[in-house]
Structure 1
Amino acid sequence: MRFTSPYLVLPLMTVLLCSCGGDDNNNTTHTEEPTAKPISLTILHTNDHHSYLEGQSYQLKLDYDAQVAGAESVRVDLGGFSRIASAIQEYRNDNTLVLNSGELNGTLYFSLFKGEPDFKVFNYLGLDAYEIGNHEFDEGDARLAELIDMAEFPIIAGNIHPTEASPLYGKDIKPYIIKEIDGEKVAVIGVLKVEKTRESSLVSDDVNFSDEIESVKEHIADVKQQGINKIIVLSHLGYDFDQQLASKVNDIDAIIGGDTHNVLDSTGEISDMGVHVDGAYPTLVANPEGRTVYIAQAWEYAKGLGRLNIEFDAEGYATQVKGNLELLVGNNYQVLDAESKWIDASTSQTQAIDNTIETLKTIRTIETDAQVENIIAPYKQQMEAFKLSELGTVSSTMPFTRIPTPFVNGAEPSGSYAAQVVADAFLQYLPKADVAIQNAGGVRAEFPQGPFTVADAYVILPFSNTVITLDLTGAEIVQVLNEALDYAQGISGSTGAFPYSSHLRYDVALNAPEGTGISNVEVKDKTTGEWQAIDLQATYTVATNSFTGLGKDGYLTFGVVREERPEAYEESDVAYVVPLLEYFRETLPAQELPALNWDEYCIKSVTDLAN
C-alpha cells in the first residue's frame, strides 16, 4: 500500500515505460522544437541503503552549548526509511521525481528475508524509478526475478540483457522511463557498473551486459528521437565513473548516482558535523560541448535524503540547479556527561540541540512514518526472535587465544581457532575472494562446544564493521601478515593484531627481526583444493574486515593499497556478523561446526626466537 500525499490525489505525472533501440549518435545538441514552457523539477533520491531499513545511532558534532566542554558531541538516531518516507511525503508534489539508485544486502533484514521488506517499503514510497545495483544479484538471478515481480514501481537498467536461460528473461527491466511533468517529458535512464557486478555478485553467465557509456549514449539517442530534451541518468556506477560519464556524453542534464557511498555537500555544514565530505552537492562537470552536468549522491544506509532542484528553460536546458543532502534525525538525543559517558539529553539540552539544528540546512528532525513502521514491524519481530534462536552446534570448543604458543609442524596447533572460523566464513560469503585475513582481536569470544545461537555469534563479533576486499600481490600479502605480527608483538601491546587466515597458511617465528616472522606462505586454490607456495607477483583478492582494511591494527599495507590503488578496494557493505550466520545456516553440513582440521589451519608451526 502506498501513502497518499495531498499533492497526488489528482496526479499530473504519467509514467510512460519505453523500450530501447535506435540511433547511437550522441554528438548532436538539443535541436528539438522549443518546449511550451520552462519547468521546475525536484529530485528526491537515495542510494546504497544495503537493507538498513531502520535508523541507526550516529555521533555528530552539533555545538549546542559553547559554554560546556564536550557539548559539541551528540548521538542521534539517524535516518531510516520511516523518516525518509515522512520527508518524501512532505516534499513531494506534481513536479517531483523519487529515485533510488539501488543496492540491497548488508543486514539481517536481507540475510533473513532476501529483499522482501525492502521492496514492500519501496512499493509504499511509490518510487518513480529504481536502478538495479550489483548487490541485487547476491542471491542470483532467480531471487532478483522474484523481487521484480513483487515491485509496484519501475525498475530500470539500460545495460542489463538477460538471455532466455536466465530467470530474469522477460522480466520488466526497462532501459529508461519517461515522466510527464507539468506537460513536459523527462527521461530517466538507468545504468549499472558491469565489472563489479560480474566479479562481486552471483549474477549468472546467462545475463549479458553492454558497455556503460555506450549504453547511455544509445538510450539518449532513442529518447531524443522522441522529442525529449530533459534527460536524467540514474546511475549505479560510482562517483568517479559518474564524472567520466558526464565528461564523455552530451545531453545529460543530471546524474543521480550510487555505489560508492559518497557524501556530497556544498554548505560546509556536514564536515563541521564531523562527517567526511567527498565533493560538492551537486558536483559540476562539463560535457564535451562545455555544458554543465550536475551530479548528486546521498551517502549510504538510508542516513539521509538527497534533494536536488532543477529549473529548466523553454529549450530544455538546466538554468538553475541547487540542493543538498539532508540528514534526518529523531529528537531522542544522547550527550556526554562529566565522566564522558553517554546519557539521555535533558529537556534543556534537547531544546538547545533542536535550536542548533534549526539553524542548519543539511539536518532536520522529523517524525517517523507509521505505515513504514508497520511494514517493517513483523520482519523486525522475526529478526529479534531469530537472534535468540539456535543456529547449529559446535562439535568442540574453538578457543580464541590471540598469539599462539610454540608448536612443531604436525603437532596440535595453538592460537585462535575462532579467528580461523571467522576468516573461513568471510571467504565462503564473498565469491570474489581468494583468501581471507582476520585479526585476532576482532573475535571477542570462543566458539563454545554445544548449541550455538545467533546471540553467541553477536558476542563473538560485536563490532559494527563490514566485510571488504582488497586486491593484493602475493608479496603484499606476505608483507601485511608480517606487519600485523610485528604490531601484535610491538610496544603498542595490541596482541589483537595477530593475523589468522583462510586459504593461507604459514610458519610463525615469534620475536623475529621485523618483517621476517611469517614465512613459507602457501595458498590453497579454491578450485582444485591444492596448496602451493604463494606467487609473489600474482594478484589475489583478500577478504578482511573494514577495520583492518583501513590499515588499522598495524595492517599498514592494506591502508596503502587502498589509498594508492582505490580500484583495488571494494566495500561489500555486509555487516560483520552476517557471513558467520550464513556460514552456519547455508555452508556447514547439518549446521555443525566440526573440529579444527589441522591441515587447513593457517599456522603450520610456531617457534619463539627469544627462547
Structure 2
Amino acid sequence: MNMYFSKWKGFLLSLLLLVGLTGLAGCGDNNDDNNDESHHAVDLRVIHTNDHHSYLDSSSYDLTINNVATRVDMGGFSRLSTVIEEERNDHSIVVNSGELSGTLYFSLFKGEPDFKIFNELHLDGYTLGNHEFDEGDGRLAELIGMANFPILSSNMTPEPASPLYAVKDDIKPYVIKNIDGEKIGIIGVLKVEKTKNSSLVSDDVTFTEEITAANQAVAELEAQGVNKIVLVSHVGYYNDIVFAQNVPGLDIIVGGDTHSLIGNESELEQIGLSRVYANDQTGPFAGYTHDGIAELDTIGSYPTLVTGPEGDPVYVVTAWSYARAVGILDVAFSAEGIVENINGNIVIPIGDTFQQKDANNAYVEVSDTVKSEILTAVDASPILRVADVNPTIEAILEPYRDEMIATQTEVVGSVSETMSNTRIPTAFAAGETPTGSYAGQVVADAFKRTNIAIDVAIQNAGGVRANLLEGDITLGQLIEVLPFSNTVVMIKMKGSDIVKVLNEGAYYSLNSGSTGAFPYASGLRYDVNLSGDETHVITNVEVQDRTSGVWSDIAADTVYTVATNSFTAQGKDNYLTFATVREADSTVYEDTSILYYVPLLDYFESLPDNILPALDLSEYCLKSVTE
C-alpha cells in the first residue's frame, strides 16, 4: 500500500505543479482520463535496441556452443527485424535508444539507410543520441524529415537559427501509446555534456539538464492521466540507475550509450559471453554521483531492479550494441501503475551456418551431425535464436551495400607524395628532413579530426600496415593501410600521463623487438633519444592548441582529450598508462565505435580536391631524433 500511496502522491503533486505552471483551469473538465478509477491493469512488452552505430549487416562472431568455439553469423537488422516481428503483438512497443555513425554505411550515406530501416520497423519511439549530430544540425534535420516514427528528446530544443528548427515539431519530449485502452508514456532524454562536447551540434541548440527534463516530462504525462511510464534514454547504464533513483513516476528505463551487456551471468557464460558494464560508463549528471551503484545487488541483471525515490520499483534494461541483440521485456502493470511482474532477456539472432576449427586450426563448416547438435543447444538457449534474414530489410540494404562494395575499387583521393611507414625513425637534427612513419602521422591527423573535443591523437606505427603511395588511392587501399577491426577511442588524461604513455610505447618498441609500438602523434611534437631510458626516450613534448594552432610546452596537470585506437587503449604494445587511466576512472574513456579506417576516408574527403598534400614538417610529431 505504501507503493500505491507514493505513486498517487507523486501524481497529485505533479498535476498541481503542471496546473500552476501552465495556468490550466481543469476543475470544470468533464474528461475523466485523469480519474484514478479509469486505470486498469495491463501487460506490456517492450522490444528495444540501442547503439547500433550504423552496423547494419550481420557479422561473424565466435561464441561457445556445447563448450566448443563456434563461429556464427550474428545480428544485423535483417535478422533483428525477424525477431522483432516474431515478438511484436498488440501489447508491445518497439523503441530504439539511438546512436548512428561508425561504419562505411554512415560515411557514405549519412544515416539514410538506417532511417529507412527504422521506418520499416515502425518504431514507437527513437531517442536521439550524441552521434546523431555527427554531421551537424542540417543533416539531422534531413533525417528527421525522412522519419515516419516518433523522434524523442525532452531535453534538446533547437532555436530559430538551427536547421533543426524547421523540424522542431517532429521532435517530441514524449509520446503516448494506447495499449488495451491504457495510456503508456514514452519519454526520450539524451546526455547533455557528451552531446555538446563530442558532436557537431551547433550553438543554436539549447539543452535542459537530464533530471530536470525527465521530471518535467513525467509531470506532464501524469497530468494527462498517464501512470505507466517508460523512459527511453541515451545517457549510459549507470546514469539510467541515477534516473531511477531520482525521478519519481518512472517505471521502466530502456537505455543506451555505454554498450552495456547485461543479463543472467550463467546463461551468458554458456555461450562464451560475459556481462560488460563496469568499465564503460560515462560520467554522472552534474550534481549527481555513481557512488554505490556498482554495489547494487541487481547490478548487471536484465532487468536491473532499482528502488525509486518514493519506494516504487523501477527496472532498467539495455541491449548491448552494434545490432547484435534485441531486448524483449514483458511487464505486468497494476491499475495503479506499479510493476507487479517482469521478465525478459536479450535475444541474439544468428544464422544457421556454423564453423568450428579443424585439425589445422582453421575454421571450417561443421558436419550435419554437429550442426544438429548445435541447433539443439541453440534451441535450449534463452539468448540465442536462429533467425532468417528479412527480405524487406535486405531489399532496403542491397543498393547501399552494392554501392559500398563498388566504392572500395573507386578512387577516393590521391597522395601527392608517398607517405612511407618506417616504424623506428633514424637520427636527424632539428630543421633537417625528418625520418619515421609519415603514414603514421597522417593516420594520427585523421584520428584527431574525428571529434571536435580531441586535442591530440596517438597512433602506434604497427597499427599502420602499408605505405600511402603517391598517386590515386582507393577505399580498398585505405582499408589495407588500416585493416584491423579497431575503433577510435577518446581518453581524457593529464599532460604528465601523455608524456608517460608516449615513453612506454617508444621504449618498448626499442627494447622488446616489437617495433610497431613506436608512437606517432597529431597535435604533439617531441624530441626522440633512441638511447634514452624508460622515461626519457620522448622529451620536450609540445602540444598544439586545437583552437588557435599555437604550440606550447605540454602542461603536466592540464587534462587533454586524447584519441587512439582501441588496441593501444587497452594497454597493448605497452601503452600501459592508457589502461591505468581508464581503470582509475572509467568515465574519462569513450569508445566512439568509429571503425579504424573510417577517419582516414573522411580525412581524404575533407581535403581540397581530395588530395593529400606533402607532409607539413612544422606539424610533424618528431622534432629531432638522436642515437
TM-score by length of 1: 0.92
The AA in structure 2 aligned to 1:475 is: S
Deviation at 1:170, TM superposition (A): 4.2
Deviations 1:540-578 (CA, angstroms, capped at 9, x unpaired): 111111111111111111101111111111111111110
- SS in structure 1 at match of 2:356: strand
Match of 1:191 in 2: 189
Deviation at 1:243, TM superposition (A): 0.5
- CA distance in 2 between partners of 1:511 and 1:275 (Å): 44
Given that residues 457 and 562 in structure 2 are in contact (C-alpha distance below 8 angstroms), is that contact kept between their aligned partners in structure 1? yes
Match of 1:525 in 2: 545
Deviations 1:374-430 (CA, angstroms, capped at 9, x unpaired): 000000011011111101111111111111111111112111111100000011222
- CA distance in 2 between partners of 1:130 and 1:169 (Å): 18
Deviation at 1:35, TM superposition (A): 4.4
- SS in structure 1 at match of 2:429: coil
- SS in structure 1 at match of 2:193: helix
Deviations 1:298-343 (CA, angstroms, capped at 9, x unpaired): 0001001100110011222110011001111001211111121111
**Residue 301, structure 1, aligned to residue 322, structure 2:** yes
Aligned alpha-carbon RMSD (Å):
1.4
- CA distance in 2 between partners of 1:216 and 1:34 (Å): 26
Match of 2:622 in 1: 603
Given that residues 103 and 595 in structure 2 are in contact (C-alpha distance below 8 angstroms), is that contact kept between their aligned partners in structure 1? yes
Q: Quick one: which of 225, 229, 252 aligns to 2:227?
A: 229
Q: How many residues align?
A: 574
Quickly say closer, same or farther: Cα 1:273–1:494, change in 2 above 3 A.
farther
- CA distance in 1 between partners of 2:430 and 2:35 (Å): 77
The AA in structure 2 aligned to 1:303 is: R
Matches within 5 A, 1:104-183: 104-171=100-167, 172-183=170-181
Given that residues 32 and 229 in structure 1 are in contact (C-alpha distance below 8 angstroms), is that contact kept between their aligned partners in structure 2? no
**Residue 322, structure 1, aligned to residue 343, structure 2:** yes
Q: Which segment is superposed worse, 535-544 or 344-353?
A: 344-353
- CA distance in 2 between partners of 1:393 and 1:99 (Å): 43
Given that residues 355 and 363 in structure 2 are in contact (C-alpha distance below 8 angstroms), is that contact kept between their aligned partners in structure 1? yes
Matches within 5 A, 1:25-424: 33-63=36-66, 72-171=68-167, 172-266=170-264, 268-277=266-275, 278=277, 279-424=300-445
The AA in structure 2 aligned to 1:212 is: E
Given that residues 465 and 575 in structure 1 are in contact (C-alpha distance below 8 angstroms), is that contact kept between their aligned partners in structure 2? yes
Q: Quick one: which of 572, 578, 588 aligns to 1:558?
A: 578
Match of 1:28 in 2: none
Deviation at 1:347, TM superposition (A): 1.8
- CA distance in 2 between partners of 1:603 and 1:178 (Å): 59
Deviation at 1:271, TM superposition (A): 3.0
Deviations 1:338-383 (CA, angstroms, capped at 9, x unpaired): 1211112222222221111111101111111000000000000110
Given that residues 23 and 221 in structure 1 are in contact (C-alpha distance below 8 angstroms), is that contact kept between their aligned partners in structure 2? no
The AA in structure 1 aligned to 2:42 is: I
The AA in structure 2 aligned to 1:484 is: G
Given that residues 313 and 338 in structure 2 are in contact (C-alpha distance below 8 angstroms), is that contact kept between their aligned partners in structure 1? no
Unaligned runs of 5+ residues in structure 2 are 1-16, 22-33, 278-299
Deviations 1:124-174 (CA, angstroms, capped at 9, x unpaired): 000010001110000111111111110000111000111111111142100
- SS in structure 2 at match of 1:87: helix
Match of 2:293 in 1: none
TM-score by length of 2: 0.90
Deviation at 1:22, TM superposition (A): 3.1
Deviations 1:245-302 (CA, angstroms, capped at 9, x unpaired): 1011111101000000000102522133232303110111111112211000000010
Deviation at 1:32, TM superposition (A): 5.5
Quickly say closer, same or farther: Cα 1:239–1:36, change in 2 above 3 A.
closer
- CA distance in 2 between partners of 1:511 and 1:475 (Å): 21
- SS in structure 2 at match of 1:22: helix
Deviations 1:507-560 (CA, angstroms, capped at 9, x unpaired): 111132111111000111222222111111111111111111111111111101
Quickly say closer, same or farther: Cα 1:372–1:79, change in 2 above 3 A.
same
Structure (1 or 2) with the greater helix fraction? 2
Q: Which segment is superposed worse, 284-293 or 469-478?
A: 284-293
Match of 2:12 in 1: none
- SS in structure 1 at match of 2:18: coil
The AA in structure 1 aligned to 2:47 is: L
- CA distance in 2 between partners of 1:110 and 1:401 (Å): 32
Matches within 5 A, 1:559-598: 559-586=579-606, 588-598=607-617
Percent sequence identity over matched residues? 51
Given that residues 46 and 302 in structure 1 are in contact (C-alpha distance below 8 angstroms), is that contact kept between their aligned partners in structure 2? yes
Q: Which segment is superposed worse, 102-111 or 405-414?
A: 405-414
Deviation at 1:601, TM superposition (A): 1.0
Given that residues 23 and 222 in structure 1 are in contact (C-alpha distance below 8 angstroms), is that contact kept between their aligned partners in structure 2? no
- CA distance in 1 between partners of 2:270 and 2:571 (Å): 25
Quickly say closer, same or farther: Cα 1:234–1:24, change in 2 above 3 A.
farther
- SS in structure 2 at match of 1:260: coil
Match of 2:530 in 1: 510
- CA distance in 2 between partners of 1:391 and 1:505 (Å): 29
- SS in structure 2 at match of 1:377: helix
- SS in structure 1 at match of 2:414: strand
- CA distance in 1 between partners of 2:457 and 2:152 (Å): 35
Given that residues 51 and 257 in structure 2 are in contact (C-alpha distance below 8 angstroms), is that contact kept between their aligned partners in structure 1? yes
The AA in structure 2 aligned to 1:59 is: D
- CA distance in 2 between partners of 1:471 and 1:37 (Å): 50
Match of 1:455 in 2: 476
Unaligned runs of 5+ residues in structure 1 are 1-20, 26-30, 65-71
- SS in structure 2 at match of 1:404: coil
Given that residues 24 and 219 in structure 1 are in contact (C-alpha distance below 8 angstroms), is that contact kept between their aligned partners in structure 2? no
- CA distance in 1 between partners of 2:561 and 2:450 (Å): 13
Deviations 1:97-140 (CA, angstroms, capped at 9, x unpaired): 00001100001111101110000000000001000111000011
- CA distance in 2 between partners of 1:528 and 1:235 (Å): 36
Given that residues 434 and 624 in structure 2 are in contact (C-alpha distance below 8 angstroms), is that contact kept between their aligned partners in structure 1? yes
Match of 1:549 in 2: 569
- CA distance in 1 between partners of 2:236 and 2:431 (Å): 48
- CA distance in 1 between partners of 2:509 and 2:308 (Å): 51
Given that residues 24 and 221 in structure 1 are in contact (C-alpha distance below 8 angstroms), is that contact kept between their aligned partners in structure 2? no
Deviation at 1:179, TM superposition (A): 0.5
- CA distance in 1 between partners of 2:158 and 2:443 (Å): 35
- SS in structure 1 at match of 2:242: helix
Deviation at 1:23, TM superposition (A): 6.0
Quickly say closer, same or farther: Cα 1:593–1:24, change in 2 above 3 A.
farther
- SS in structure 1 at match of 2:445: helix
Given that residues 175 and 186 in structure 2 are in contact (C-alpha distance below 8 angstroms), is that contact kept between their aligned partners in structure 1? yes
Match of 2:560 in 1: 540
Given that residues 187 and 231 in structure 1 are in contact (C-alpha distance below 8 angstroms), is that contact kept between their aligned partners in structure 2? yes
Deviations 1:203-235 (CA, angstroms, capped at 9, x unpaired): 000000001001000111111111110000000
The AA in structure 1 aligned to 2:57 is: E
Given that residues 456 and 563 in structure 2 are in contact (C-alpha distance below 8 angstroms), is that contact kept between their aligned partners in structure 1? yes
- SS in structure 1 at match of 2:618: coil
Q: Which segment is superposed worse, 481-490 or 131-140?
A: 481-490
Match of 1:12 in 2: none
- CA distance in 2 between partners of 1:293 and 1:247 (Å): 8
- CA distance in 1 between partners of 2:218 and 2:437 (Å): 56
